[in-house]
Amino acid sequence: MKNLLLQNEYDFISGGNKAFIIAFDAEMEQLGYTSGKIIGPGHCWGRYMIIYTKASTKSKKSYARIYIRDEDIVLRLYLSNVDKHSDMIEQAPAYIQEAFIGTFPSCDHCHGKTECVHQKRYTLNGTRYEICDGKAFWFIQPKLEHLSDYLKLFNTFYPVKSVL
């Protein structure tokens, strides 16, 4: 990833953001997830995007993405069954909790329906949240010094399975 980010087309990415991307990529590789060392088009999320899938599987389910925008980056984690992990999230630092309890735009999919398959529903600290899955669990401008906390959160939802 480091060599890839040295290409001229990525010169607009700050040194700090490049350091985060390189470190996150290396940690995800250690956990068994891969970006395939590919930085693809960002579509509507940014200029570029890095998609993390499970290594050595045919499934291309996204587990995490990094959106590379003109002025910043966004770490997006794909998380489900939040209620199962509410104790951990409630004890997490504020910058982790913000992705779960911050202010979010309304759902782009439900158009006023009471039940929408695109909503994430969970309760934290006694408050019920219903947010659009397209806006869920974004860490805007993630910091390298918080990397261990992002990984702790990721590992809570996707624990490393030991091999006997």
**pLDDT tens track of the chain, all 164 residues?**
999 999 999 999 999 999 999 999 999 999 999 999 999 999 888 999 999 999 988 878 999 999 999 999 999 999 999 999 999 999 999 999 999 998 765 566 666 666 667 778 899 999 998 887 777 899 999 999 999 999 999 999 999 876 55
pLDDT at 108: 63
pLDDT at 106: 59
List the end-to-end C-alpha distance of the chain, in Å, as a whole number.
Answer: 31
pLDDT at 92: 97
pLDDT at 161: 75
- Give start and end residues of each alpha helix (H) in 6-113: 15-31, 86-91, 94-101
What DSSP designation does 73 have? Answer: E
d(CA 140, CA 83): 23
Ranges of beta strands (E only) in the chain are 33-34, 40-41, 48-54, 64-68, 73-77, 119-124, 127-132, 138-140
Which whole-number Å values give the CA distances from 105 to 78, 96, 108, in the listed order? 18, 18, 8
pLDDT at 134: 76
DSSP 3-state of 51: strand
